[in-house]
Structure 1
Amino acid sequence: MSAMESFVKLFNEFEIQLLVLLSFTLQLFLFFAGNLRRRSSNRLLRLSLWAAYLGADLAAVYALGYLSRHQQTQQLVFFWAPFLLIHLGGQDTITAFALEDNNLWLRHLLNLVTQVTLALYVFSKSIGRHNTELLISGTFAFVAGMIKYGERTWSLKFGSITSLESSAAHRYRKELPEGTASDVAPFVGAALESMPYVLKVFSNRIVLADRRHKLENTVDDLDQMIRMVMLQLGMMYDDLYTKALVLRTRRGVILRCISEASVIVAFALFHVSEKGRYSKADIAITYSLFVGCFFLDVCSMFIPMMSPRTWAWLKAHKCHALARLSLFVFYSDIGYPKMKLRWPNSIGQYNLYRRWSTDRDLQPRTCTQHIMILLRKLFVDLFRVEQKKLFWLSKILDTEFTDVDIMIVEGVAKELTLLSSERRHNDKEWTHMAALLSWMQGNFLLDFGTGIITMHYVTETYLRKYASHSDMKAHAGLMEVCRKLSGYMMYLLVTHPSILPLNNSAELALDRFKNAHSMDLEIGQSLDPSKETLEELACMWTRLLLYSAGKSHPGMHAAQLSGGGELITFAWLFMAHYGLGDSGIIKIQLTNKDLVQDANLGRLYAFCVPPEQQRLF
């Protein structure tokens, strides 16, 4: 017998054991890595989570199918069927990988019925072949498995768009008893009190009365406002992609207690049962599954404790001791304040100066740039493949991520407050940007994508030209803000074009720019190297971000939360609190040359160009 045949025989002999251990390993990984994606845009992490999320279900389902096909009369493997149901129930930290999983909750319900029936069939074949203690122990484990699987399906239903649109805000209001907001930091209390409004914003159910909601009347400090909005994004992530919403209901808590009690009873009965006729390997695997359940359940108790919603829910139900524990965990090193409340922690960057659409032979700085240049030379130069057909590859390899500068987050918040104050007096002066504004008011309205690309190219040219200028070296931080905002808007255009108010596709905009950008680059020659110019340039990019956020759809932002969040989502929710944007009472138009107006709603301009500067290039 060859070595390969021996390996295959050994694998076939222990196939079910390996499948069960694989399923358990994937659950451990999902539990600890699932919560990381709320603060990370790392591609390797996201790919690993995607593979584990799909693989965990496949491993458990295949193992159940294996058990149903093979007679295991003298083995302990029949006892593992309930544990596979527990694994199919998923982890508290990652119920849904993407928003589409929530919307397909009926499919998961069908899977629940199918897999529970299959597990019952596997378990029923063992009746009369094993001792009573073991069968009763398996029955209690089976109860825990059905509850766990039911929790997952229930959570998916609650996180679906349909459920968000039909849910009543009073369900959230009753979580915060009157007067309890003063027990915590101002931004925490304000975040909890305004969550019913946030829920309506995300579900696109804002009515005229809701649009009068004002953030500035809730907290009076800009830093507190920023922290409040970021905390609300974190709570929305919990509701959409974890079991948090189910575990805050009375029925959810009761079912979780029954589930954990069932596992404890099952373990006790298994431990005292006669196991002499079973293999030591199977007994060790079963004990490992029990210990794993206990470990994950104990860890799961602390996950919801980190949320201020849990504290509010416990306070509402007069569980004062647990409420104090929740508040302690919330303010500890593992709670929200120490988890870096910035949302997101990173932003995407796509620099046209070093990318596929330019003819520049710049020195590559990263491994992905080396790969992209190699592929470009291989396909474009050697095989004569059209460059635009490699655009999908450029999206993957040319996109980078960088830390969010606190200056950017504060700049978005400050510019939003300034923009809101300009509702009555359009008094924003653009002393150093007159030529750029004159160009922008016509070209952006004709093709927003081409406008983003050209302005990005002008910004990069300007920053590179004056990088070593004596007057600019002292403002390196401000230059970096301009570069990051420019790269971020290009990143959105290339990777998330549906979130921007585009007239045409991103590919078409890139083609147009490549063929005609030399005609427009002269507008950057009038920009002088000064701090004031940099400030106005950063302001222009910020207002373009705010305008884009105001035109975006809520469902897109709900979907983006699963991938670490986007800066534009933070800007969108901040604007919604001020009643700005398409979801608010005051719509934002790009410039005062925009003829698309609604007489029934208030008007606000991202760029109000003086009459003497209103000319089209």
Structure 2
Amino acid sequence: MENPSNLARVKNLLEKWDVRVFILVSLFIQAFLTLLAPFRKSSASTFLSFLIWLLYLSADAIGVFVIGLISSNEGDTPHTIELLVFWTPFLLLHLGGPDTITALALEDNELWNRHALQLATQVSITVYVFFQSFRENRLWIPAVLMFVEGLIKYFERTCALFFASTDSYRDSLVAEPEPGPNYARLMEEYNSAKGAYIPTDFEGKDGRLEGGARSDERDGLVENDQNQSAADDGSDPTGVANSDLKLTLDETNVKEAHRFYEMFKALLADGFLSLKDRKVSRDFFISVPVKDAFRIIEIELNLIYDVFYTKLFLLQRKRAFARVFCFIFVIASLLIFSIKDKSKYKTVDIVITFVLLLGAIALDICAALMFLLSDWWIIIISFDGKMKSYFQWIMVVFLRWSRRARQPCRRRWSECISKYNLLKRCFRTPPSFFNFQCIFSIKRIRDILLGFLYVERHKVDKELVNFVITELKNKAELATDIEVAKEVCSSRGSLVLEDDYFLASDCISPWTVDVDYDESLLIWHLATDICYWTSTEDTTSEHRNISKALSDYMSYLLLRKQTLVSSVVGMADTRFEDTRADAKKFMNNKSIKISWLADPWWTVKRFICKKLCCRTMSETDDSPSVRVENKFFMNFSKKLLEVKADVQPIVAKGDKSKSVLFDACRLAKQLEMFGEKKWEICSKVWVELLCYAAVRCSPRSHIAQLSKGGELITLVWLFMAHLGLGERFLQNQGFGWTKLIIQK
């Protein structure tokens, strides 16, 4: 039995140190979040996501817990209570969180009202704690200063969550009501002139309206309208600063990205875009090189991330002055505390107080430096307004200084794509511990373990990105009007076959347009694998590698990222499981016989040879599992092609099974007839399948991926929108205002 005196000693120790330990832990959590949070938009690391998740949830819990401890603390000396009261505003400051993260997931923005209630509650408790010792508190001045800073920071976080919530963001896009001219008075004047036989006519903004506005003149005014609207906003529409400062290429791309973000904000709220904006954006992105176009899309997605997940977009123009006052307040608090008589305080409490003050200063300086190095500082520089003219020389100096520290070619998303192969999932048996029903029966745990075993992440090839962007630009050049654009977006391979490979259309269309999307994707995925493993052409073929990469990536999206592509999932899981069972039955339940520990051990030996023994293994050497898998897949594909699949599987087997194995076999045989051209056909079909899924994902599902490193399909979705390839454009575009012309 435990000694009561020991339990009492432990209890006293906890009561003495709990506030001190937890408040320092809260400070360190803020420091780690400040430094780590920016990396989550450019990294898909599971460990980093878990670490940020743990820190984010712990920050609020610890802050609320410590404020509660201080408010109920009655056993300390009056001088100790003075310091505890002084520490309370720091916890309010920590609850405000760093600028680099306000929402862990997109759904957190919808909980802004909960944070607003917590703000009111914690502020009330802080005020209560403060007034309890107000009369005898010699540190009330620095405490009030820190309270104001904490209140501002916490209020900023709540505002950021509110502005990023769905309803608030959508409301911010609503334009001012426009009743138009007085129709009754206009008709009165028109009928009076007409009765007096005076020639009259209505003239629109684009010319006289005789059965409709003239489209050629209307198009000609698009650019003028854009320039006029930009002038009204106080910005430079041409992308060139009005000052003498010459921007670098990367800074110009940032300005362009912000311009198109402002133009296409309605898209993020699932709203409609104007044909005027479509034309401006489409003409721009068709004309710029592939590399610059893709870079602008990356930067724009970073801006979208900042709006929905951080406070950075709040620190613009007049809002930044609040931060200046906050920094002054914490400096003043440090100076006041330094000159106070501290002889009656405990040494450890004095040290903790200085750590909190210096930590607050360090976090403010770090936040300021991050803001100066961010894209938003370039956007502020490019804003041509009165505020800029007053501080232009200072801002330019900071911009020139930040160029030395800014990395123009820094990674703006994970630049990786995940691959999930059906054949590997069929024939690579999971480890024996998967047989434990208590683990494998829980879907969340099962999905995590299966993803760890079968999902591979690879750095995206530049050739693949360039090919996809080039294909999209070629399609955009054809989509001169909305109807053609809709046809392009609804194509699932048919457009490629009809336009470029007309002879192949009749042979291949039964597996593209005549079946559901999920069935078509699985058929093409298996057919691509069969052709890949039986191909005798050059294995370094660009189209061959692109087809394989896109095939595995689309399989990953359909089977492992169903929340992202939920509108096109269909019966994908059922078809996958039936196909998996059919493939195993076809191979007589044979599987790949190799341990899952073979690859880690091979990696260790490779490291030893390279680092310790000063020997290098060939870069082309594959891991043991890859060699065994490749051999097995080649045998499987060759054996499958030997089947004489003259009759449709649904006719021979019925429709109870949803397997697509032999449909893929029939498609692979048709593709083999085109020789080396089959890889060009496959790669272009996969681009259309990717585009079809991209435009049918909801904007919120795309935005949700930005906090996880981003996905290639999200970049494709935004680029398609800027090229005018989408369905969210107004078809009946108005011509603005009209006026009645009465001839004299």
Q: Give the distance between the partners of 2:309 and 2:72, measured in 1 at CA.
A: 34
Q: Does 1:64 align with 2:67?
A: yes
Aligned to 2:682: 537
Aligned to 2:648: none
Unaligned runs of 5+ in 2: 176-228, 485-494, 581-656, 734-744
Determine if contact 2:421/2:552 at 8 Å carries over to the other structure.
yes
1:118-517 to 2 correspondences below 5 Å = 118-131=125-138, 134-168=139-173, 174=233, 176-177=235-236, 181=240, 183-184=246-247, 185=249, 186-210=252-276, 212-219=278-285, 220=287, 221-250=289-318, 252-314=319-381, 315-316=383-384, 317-318=388-389, 319-325=391-397, 327-328=399-400, 331-335=403-407, 337-341=408-412, 343-355=413-425, 358=426, 360-361=427-428, 372-379=430-437, 390=446, 393-395=449-451, 397-423=453-479, 428-430=499-501, 434=505, 437-442=508-513, 444=515, 446=516, 448-466=517-535, 469=536, 471-475=537-541, 478-500=543-565, 501-502=567-568, 504-514=570-580, 515=657, 516-517=659-660
Q: Does 1:104 align with 2:111?
A: yes
Q: Give the distance between the partners of 1:81 and 1:102, measured in 2 at CA.
A: 26
Moved more, 153-162 or 577-586: 577-586
Q: Which amino acid is the alignment partner of residue 429 of structure 1?
A: D
Aligned to 2:200: none
For residues 361-381 of structure 1, give each alpha carbon's deviation from its aligned partner in whole angstroms, at most 9, with x where no partner exists: 46xxxxxxxxx433334449x
Determine if contact 1:26/1:56 at 8 Å carries over to the other structure.
yes
Q: Give the distance between the partners of 2:167 and 2:153, measured in 1 at CA.
A: 23
- The 1:439/1:386 distance shift into structure 2, 3 A limit, reads farther
Q: Which amino acid is the alignment partner of residue 140 of structure 1?
A: L
Q: Which amino acid is the alignment partner of residue 122 of structure 1?
A: V
Q: Give the distance between the partners of 2:170 and 2:62, measured in 1 at CA.
A: 34
- The 1:52/1:130 distance shift into structure 2, 3 A limit, reads same
- The 1:200/1:242 distance shift into structure 2, 3 A limit, reads same
Q: Give the distance between the partners of 1:530 and 1:57, measured in 2 at CA.
A: 61
3-state SS of 1:196 partner: helix
Determine if contact 2:100/2:311 at 8 Å carries over to the other structure.
yes
- The 1:275/1:456 distance shift into structure 2, 3 A limit, reads same
- The 1:271/1:513 distance shift into structure 2, 3 A limit, reads same
3-state SS of 1:420 partner: helix
- The 1:97/1:173 distance shift into structure 2, 3 A limit, reads farther
For residues 102-125 of structure 1, give each alpha carbon's deviation from its aligned partner in whole angstroms, at most 9, with x where no partner exists: 122111111111011111112222
3-state SS of 1:14 partner: helix
Moved more, 485-494 or 434-443: 434-443
- The 1:3/1:546 distance shift into structure 2, 3 A limit, reads farther
Aligned to 2:43: 40
TM-score, normalised to structure 2's length?
0.70
Q: Give the distance between the partners of 1:130 and 1:520, measured in 2 at CA.
A: 81
Determine if contact 1:60/1:84 at 8 Å carries over to the other structure.
yes
- The 1:121/1:459 distance shift into structure 2, 3 A limit, reads same
3-state SS of 2:710 partner: coil
Q: Give the distance between the partners of 1:3 and 1:198, measured in 2 at CA.
A: 66
- The 1:180/1:583 distance shift into structure 2, 3 A limit, reads closer
Determine if contact 2:568/2:696 at 8 Å carries over to the other structure.
no
Q: Tell me by how many angstroms 1:585 deviates.
A: 6.1
Moved more, 452-461 or 104-113: 452-461
- The 1:551/1:152 distance shift into structure 2, 3 A limit, reads same
Determine if contact 1:92/1:243 at 8 Å carries over to the other structure.
yes
Q: Tell me by how many angstroms 1:321 deviates.
A: 2.8
Q: Which amino acid is the alignment partner of residue 476 of structure 2?
A: S
Aligned to 1:597: none
Q: Tell me by how many angstroms 1:405 deviates.
A: 1.6
Q: Give the distance between the partners of 1:88 and 1:305, measured in 2 at CA.
A: 24
Determine if contact 1:173/1:193 at 8 Å carries over to the other structure.
no
Determine if contact 1:83/1:289 at 8 Å carries over to the other structure.
yes
Aligned length: 563
Q: Which amino acid is the alignment partner of residue 196 of structure 1?
A: E
Aligned to 2:617: none
- The 1:101/1:325 distance shift into structure 2, 3 A limit, reads farther
Determine if contact 1:422/1:428 at 8 Å carries over to the other structure.
no
Determine if contact 2:695/2:726 at 8 Å carries over to the other structure.
yes
Determine if contact 2:275/2:729 at 8 Å carries over to the other structure.
no
Determine if contact 2:231/2:237 at 8 Å carries over to the other structure.
no
- The 1:390/1:270 distance shift into structure 2, 3 A limit, reads closer
Unaligned runs of 5+ in 1: 363-371, 587-599, 602-617
- The 1:511/1:483 distance shift into structure 2, 3 A limit, reads same
Q: Give the distance between the partners of 2:327 and 2:446, measured in 1 at CA.
A: 52
3-state SS of 2:100 partner: coil
Q: Does 1:525 align with 2:669?
A: yes
Determine if contact 1:181/1:188 at 8 Å carries over to the other structure.
no
For residues 286-318 of structure 1, give each alpha carbon's deviation from its aligned partner in whole angstroms, at most 9, with x where no partner exists: 111111111111111122223343223244322
Q: Which amino acid is the alignment partner of residue 340 of structure 1?
A: R
Aligned to 1:93: 100
For residues 586-609 of structure 1, give each alpha carbon's deviation from its aligned partner in whole angstroms, at most 9, with x where no partner exists: 9xxxxxxxxxxxxx99xxxxxxxx
Q: Tell me by how many angstroms 1:93 deviates.
A: 0.7
Determine if contact 1:415/1:543 at 8 Å carries over to the other structure.
no
Q: Does 1:550 align with 2:695?
A: yes
Q: Give the distance between the partners of 1:326 and 1:163, measured in 2 at CA.
A: 33
Q: Give the distance between the partners of 2:130 and 2:64, measured in 1 at CA.
A: 15
Aligned to 2:716: 571
Determine if contact 2:149/2:329 at 8 Å carries over to the other structure.
yes
Larger radius of gyration: 2
For residues 302-359 of structure 1, give each alpha carbon's deviation from its aligned partner in whole angstroms, at most 9, with x where no partner exists: 2222334322324432232343245436644534x23134x4422222222222xx2x
3-state SS of 1:394 partner: helix
- The 1:406/1:297 distance shift into structure 2, 3 A limit, reads same
For residues 529-564 of structure 1, give each alpha carbon's deviation from its aligned partner in whole angstroms, at most 9, with x where no partner exists: 965332322221111111111222212212221211
How much identity, in percent, do the aligned residues show?
A: 27
3-state SS of 1:402 partner: strand
Q: Tell me by how many angstroms 1:271 deviates.
A: 0.8
Q: Tell me by how many angstroms 1:99 deviates.
A: 1.3
Determine if contact 1:305/1:330 at 8 Å carries over to the other structure.
yes
- The 1:26/1:181 distance shift into structure 2, 3 A limit, reads same
3-state SS of 2:240 partner: helix
Q: Which amino acid is the alignment partner of residue 472 of structure 1?
A: D
